[in-house]
Amino acid sequence: MRASAFKVTGGPEVLRLVDLPDPEPGPGEILIRVAYAGVNYGEIQHRLGDFGEPDGETVTGLEASGRVAALGEGVTGVSIGDPVTAYLPDGGGYAEYAVAPAAFTFPLAGAPAVRLPDGFDGRAGDSDRPQGGFAPVASALPLPDGFEGRTSDSDRRPAGFAPSTGGPGLAPSAVDRLPDGSDRRPDGLDLRTAGGAALVLTTAYGVLAGAARIAPGDTVLVHAAAGGVGGAAAQLARALGATEVYGTVGTPEKAEYARRSFGYDEVFAREGFPEAVLAATSGRGVDIVLDPVGGPTRLASFEVLAPFGRLAVYGEAARHPDLQLPVLPIWKNNRTLTGYNIGDLARRAPATVRAHGLSALALAASGAVRIDVTEEYALADAAEAHRLLGEGRNRGKVVLAVDQTSPSGV
């Protein structure tokens, strides 16, 4: 198979097109003939050596879409040729074939449920409390029956979302229009869009519902508001009951794009954002801040937290040295610092990852959340895609077209 791989860490130039043996699925795994692969900052970290040194030719790629090519032992409920999207915790998406855990493989429109192999016992978090409208582990993109939230201020709306056809936290009319004003209601995701969906949507849903414990009536600030996860998080926050959603970006062009594409109430320049956020909220601040940036942005985010506000950390895109944070200000100002890392969760609570993915993909399939694919590169040009992200020039979602003989539709 053809693959974009690296065998030494370094800049984008270390990615090269190579020929490698086709992988084979093991027990509980699915082999996917890849149509599209998403491009994410996590893959830049992989290439730079943040996940360790490569052992021979190493293929990165944390999400992909395509069609089922083979099934490992114990995997049923899906057939050869079915369209799927998958989160790939061990990478491998930048190739013509990728092996995905059945637990993190999600069928697209018209495909049946993937039944998990016997013995799949991943925990879905705390067994005695709901988390983010979890769907049954073996379901195929169901809409959860409801979502029990928690409020942080006693004078705001009571906890609990009413069940609706639109997904958790949605009134029946809430998905009539997408953030860009269109009234499209897609039956499902096409392969091109789905190539950039599994990691992005699962992460955005997980950081909101799992780490930040979003509740109806919450107000949310999203850093890196024009990116793949940021754009998805803005829409998911609204779907899960947020009343106001703000964003920050690095350039005026990105601000206009994010506001137009993802339905933010306001988008601010990242430089000096605390003053802007406090002015927009009449000094109260926001209940949730989502931060994949780090460094000074992370430190300043504490300033805009409302009482019992949560700063949810899920990345370090700016590559600043780790912060040394005093604890007393967190206690004395009624603040919470929380984190989300999908790789750790995939190892220790795979059922939670699957449930987050199912819930988010259900909303995307209904049209409530849109993945905006703005850039497409050939597999041979993966290095150029990495340059785009690494220089901060990307907007929306970037994908690699891997199997160019496959139609983009499901």
Alpha carbon dihedral 269, 271, 276, 278, in 10-degree steps, equals 130
Strand partners, 188: none
**What distance in Å separates the CA atoms of residue 173 and residue 177, rounded to the nearest whole number?**
9
Q: Which DSSP state fits 13? A: G
The three-class DSSP label of residue 297 is: helix
CATH of domain 130-189+198-370: 3.40.50.720
Closest listed residue to residue 196, CA positions, set 37, 1, 334, 393: 37
Q: What DSSP string describes 171-194?
A: -TTTTSS-TTS-----SS--HHHH
Residues with Cβ < 8 Å from 169, sequence gap 6 or more? 133, 147, 149, 161, 216, 239, 240, 241
Residues with Cβ < 8 Å from 54, sequence gap 6 or more? 6, 7, 8, 9
**pLDDT tier at 112 (50, 70, 90 boundaries)?**
low
H helix or E strand, kind and range, residue 288: strand 286-291
What is the per-residue pLDDT across 243-292, written as a single tens digit (0 to 9) for each? 999 999 999 999 999 999 999 999 999 999 999 999 999 999 999 999 99
Closest listed residue to residue 399, CA positions, set 316, 390, 262, 384: 384
| Residue spans per domain, the chain | 2-108+371-401, 130-189+198-370
Per-chain mean pLDDT for the chain: 84
CATH T-level fold of 2-108+371-401: Quinone Oxidoreductase; Chain A, domain 1 (3.90.180)
Sheet with 16-19: list strands edge to edge: 16-19, 2-6, 58-59
Q: Which two three-digit tokens encode residue 369?
A: 């959340």
What's CA 408's distance to the chain center, in Å? 21
Burial class (CB in 10 A: 0-12, 13-18, 19+), 174: middle
| Sequence-ordered strand ranges (E) for 189-243 | 219-223
Q: What is the pLDDT of residue 134?
A: 28
**What distance in Å separates the CA atoms of residue 240 and residue 258, rounded to the nearest whole number?**
19
Strand partners, 294: none
What is the per-residue pLDDT across 325-339, written as a single tens digit (0 to 9) for each? 888 899 999 999 999
Q: What DSSP string describes 53-76?
A: ---SSEE--SEEEEEEEEE-TT-B
Select the more confidently predicted residue: 154 or 195.
195
**What distance in Å separates the CA atoms of residue 104 and residue 87, rounded to the nearest whole number?**
5
**What distance in Å separates the CA atoms of residue 366 and residue 189, rounded to the nearest whole number?**
9
CB 171 within 8 A of CB 164: yes
Q: Which two three-digit tokens encode residue 101?
A: 């855990």
Q: Is 246 left (phi over 0), alpha (psi -120 to 50) or beta?
A: beta
| Mean pLDDT for the stretch of residues 87-101 | 98
| Mean pLDDT for the stretch of residues 343-362 | 96
Count CB neighbours of 196 within 10 A: 31
Q: Which two three-digit tokens encode residue 405?
A: 């003989």
Residue recorded with tokens 């018209």: 110
What is the per-residue pLDDT across 374-406, written as a single tens digit (0 to 9) for each? 999 999 999 999 999 999 899 999 999 999 666
| Mean pLDDT for the stretch of residues 108-134 | 48
Residues with Cβ < 8 Å from 264, sequence gap 6 or more? 222, 225, 234, 245, 246, 247, 258
Residues with Cβ < 8 Å from 185, sequence gap 6 or more? 175, 176, 366, 367
What is the per-residue pLDDT across 174-186, written as a single tens digit (0 to 9) for each? 333 444 444 333 3
Count CB neighbours of 137 within 10 A: 18
